[in-house]
Structure 1
Amino acid sequence: MDSIPFRRQPTWYGGRGLFAIQDIPQGTLLHTCPAPYASVIYRVFRKEVCGLCFAYAFDARRNAWNIKLEAGSGVWFCSETCRDDWIRDENVGQLVEAMNGAIDRLAKSMEKRAAGKVVLPVSLVKPMTQEDIDLAWAAAEDASLRTDTQPGWDPVLDEMELDTVRFVMSAIVRRYIQDSAQIAPLFNSWADLLELQNNELQFYRGRPSALASHLSIYTFVRRVVLSIPALAPYLATSEMVRAILARDPGNVFGMYEMNEEGDSEMLGWCMYVSASYFNHRKCYSFFFFYLHLSRAIDCAPNIRKERSGRKLLFYTTRDVALGEELCINYIDLKDNVTERRNQLAANWYFDCVCDRCKKELETKEKETIS
């Protein structure tokens, strides 16, 4: 299409969404996310997943990719073209190499000496408040500043926490690259990322132990950045790490192998900022000062997503009317209504009230009564 056929605007139920500003035919390639703002390939898959296009070696009937940077870089590629493009576009100033090396060295050094986890200055017995969270982050920031000059205590992270460190660091590197170039793709800047829903309070209330984990991750990231001066300004406070971690839950996409045989292995996760504005819910929208009642957007969405390498592509699944919200599904639509609603509440922090869910709940209630 010659112009962008949608706009980002507030929704009536909170947050932001994408709304059609013209009628859009079925099958239209509506939007392309060329690359994630932040991403991580699980460490166990690093030799099997291309660092640029995310191609999975097993899909190509290979056990692993054999094209890599120098030893210890932690990045493998499916082709020399991907390697060269990655060096040009992603490894500006060899920052990613420096980052991966610093993470691996620090992780090994932590294993060799006594270390622990961040001790929260708040009680987890009562429901967590925003004040509790702010206090904990302030205490961690103060402690991390002291360990910068007096090394000796550092948290030991498990494998998932180390992967989260790599995810956070990839976002910091992305911001550095965009700031240095003074240009960012549409809907994929740091400012755009900050407009994503902040799920910090809901996430920590549902998973209280995650707060201590995130504070340990922040402390570790601070230590990593000590060896990468170009990134140090972004860690002067905890603000950037906290902002990334607050938007990770509910706003990221799993990176799956691209097979056509059913179950797919999750290889890592990515944050595509513009893609996160595609919601999953029934909605009504205000459009050009008129109240426009859209068709129901429910657990049968009007947009489908498709991964092509590192790109995410979004197509309309039916004709979409002007003013209608553009929605994708977040879950397996074959699940029953209870499973769907539980997943959406636990992982995306809302109760789905779409027409399909309401009808299935009514049917379930009638069956229970009878």
Structure 2
Amino acid sequence: MGSIPFIRKATWYGGRGLFATEPIPAGTLLHTCPAPYASVIYRIFRKEVCGHCFAYAFDARRSAWNIKLAVGGGVWFCSEQCRDEWVRDGVGNVGEVVGAMNAAVDKLAKSMDKRAAGQTSPEVVAAVTTQDALDSAWAAAERASVSDQPIQPLNELELDTVRFLLSALVRRHLDDTMRTAAPLNGWADLLELQDNELAYVRGRPHVLASHLRIFAFVRRIAAAVPALAPYLATAATVRAVLARDQGNVFGMYELSTQGDSEMLGWSMYVSASYFNHDCAPNVRKERLGRAMMFYTTRDVSPDEELCISYIDVADAVADRRKELSLNWYFDCVCKRCERELGNI
């Protein structure tokens, strides 16, 4: 991690966290994650949010952006500079890959709407409660012939999840072929994030059927984008991203002086996810364009864990713990919770 004043190590309560290696004054910029590993702008906002800096058109008193890629489509920009930087960051062929990807998604989505009109997506009836059962379901999906499978309808959130997954596949492709991975933001770093797949499926049984439909859809896209095909020979890459989507991504909100308001999409900042939660956090996050930045909110002592808040910490302790358990899959044991529960 270079000369930054913290290290990553195991916590006493499980997993890993970031710990100060020296006294850190309040207001210190601890870490900047310059860009997400994967992201998606909700389809309804694609023309209103810059594909590079995530600027919201309505903040600039505009109804939409009108600058697009010269090759391909599905991405809009607030300026020619953002468009050019986006292409340059992708190292050469990203415009062609993403353009083909978006065109394929839109084409298949339209075909799906026509062929699946009036159909209801089949769901997995039996709840999956074991890893073996989950693995078996995915193995069956891998064995299924892509061309012989009927097109199943996807809802708007599922289509946005398709685009999120494809952005991750494009990033992995570029990292593998162009060696573009930023420090702590590569594929190996992503795999170190908490895997919530089984817990997520246990808590929401309908999710497995949804994820299998998404996987089938993404595999069809690979036929139009050969560069991504190697990552879809098995379900491993898709499963890895979906398993870490829950509990490790950040909502992409409008940057408003009144605070967070409209949620425009979501992003996975790998290194940012190394900050654990505390109900009395000593670190705050701030998005500046596509970068995520982290500042200390008070003086921090050596060996003190550096934590952000995942939820509204103004809520009562029971509500905070319930939300963290339901959506982040852990029971909070921070000092504030223990104190408010009367345990210390």
Query: How does the TM-score come out when normalised to structure 1?
Result: 0.87
Q: In structure 2, what is the equivalent of residue 230 of structure 1?
A: 227
SS at match of 1:356: helix
Counterpart Cα distance in 2 of 1:116 and 1:137: 21
Listed one character per residue, the Cα deviations across residues 237-296 of structure 1 (whole Å, up to 9, x for unaligned) are 00000000000000000000011224510000000000000001xxxxxxxxxxxxxxxx
Q: In structure 1, what is the equivalent of residue 323 of structure 2?
A: 343
Are positions 1:301 and 2:281 aligned together? yes
Counterpart Cα distance in 2 of 1:140 and 1:172: 19
Shift of 1:112: 1.7
SS at match of 1:112: helix
Instruction: Kindly report the root-mean-square deviation, in angstroms, between the aligned alpha carbons of the 2 structures.
Output: 1.9
Shift of 1:70: 5.2
Q: In structure 2, what is the equivalent of residue 8 of structure 1?
A: 8
Q: Which region of structure 1 is more displaced relative to structure 2, 38-47 or 153-162?
A: 153-162
Counterpart Cα distance in 2 of 1:321 and 1:331: 24
Q: In structure 2, what is the equivalent of residue 186 of structure 1?
A: 183
Q: In structure 1, what is the equivalent of residue 297 of structure 2?
A: 317
Q: In structure 2, what is the equivalent of residue 69 of structure 1?
A: 69
Q: In structure 2, what is the equivalent of residue 289 of structure 1?
A: none
SS at match of 2:310: coil
Q: Give, as a single letter, the amino acid of the residue that structure 1 aligns with 2:140.
A: A
Counterpart Cα distance in 1 of 2:310 and 2:284: 10
SS at match of 2:307: coil
Counterpart Cα distance in 1 of 2:99 and 2:80: 17
Q: In structure 2, what is the equivalent of residue 133 of structure 1?
A: 134
Q: How does 1:345-360 map to 2 (within 5 A)?
A: 345-360=325-340
Listed one character per residue, the Cα deviations across residues 294-341 of structure 1 (whole Å, up to 9, x for unaligned) are xxxx41111111000000010111111221111000011222222211
Q: Give, as a single letter, the amino acid of the residue that structure 2 aligns with 1:36.
A: P
Listed one character per residue, the Cα deviations across residues 12-45 of structure 1 (whole Å, up to 9, x for unaligned) are 2222211122221211110000000000000000
Q: Gapped runs of 5+ residues in structure 2?
A: none
Shift of 1:96: 0.8
Q: Which region of structure 1 is more displaced relative to structure 2, 167-176 or 89-98?
A: 89-98
Q: Which region of structure 1 is more displaced relative to structure 2, 111-120 or 345-354?
A: 111-120
Q: How does 1:197-216 map to 2 (within 5 A)?
A: 197-216=194-213
Q: How does 1:143-162 map to 2 (within 5 A)?
A: 143=144, 146-148=145-147, 150=148, 153-162=150-159
Shift of 1:118: 5.6
Q: Give, as a single letter, the amino acid of the residue that structure 2 aligns with 1:40.
A: V
Q: Give, as a single letter, the amino acid of the residue that structure 2 aligns with 1:104.
A: D
SS at match of 2:159: helix
Counterpart Cα distance in 2 of 1:312 and 1:119: 37
Q: In structure 2, what is the equivalent of residue 87 of structure 1?
A: 87
Kept after mapping to 2: 8 A contact 1:118/1:215: no
- Give 1:105's match in structure 2, choosing from 100, 103, 107: 107
Q: Give, as a single letter, the amino acid of the residue that structure 2 aligns with 1:142.
A: R
Give the share of equivalent positions with the same residue, in percent: 66
Shift of 1:154: 2.0
Q: Give, as a single letter, the amino acid of the residue that structure 2 aligns with 1:90.
A: G
Kept after mapping to 2: 8 A contact 1:36/1:310: yes
Q: How does 1:229-248 map to 2 (within 5 A)?
A: 229-248=226-245
Kept after mapping to 1: 8 A contact 2:123/2:206: no
Q: In structure 1, what is the equivalent of residue 126 of structure 2?
A: 123
Counterpart Cα distance in 2 of 1:20 and 1:56: 35
Counterpart Cα distance in 2 of 1:183 and 1:354: 37
SS at match of 1:353: coil
* Alpha-carbon spacing, 1:105–1:70, altered in 2? closer, same or farther (3 Å): farther
Shift of 1:362: 3.8
Q: In structure 1, what is the equivalent of residue 49 of structure 2?
A: 49
Counting matched residue pairs gives 339
Counterpart Cα distance in 1 of 2:329 and 2:92: 37
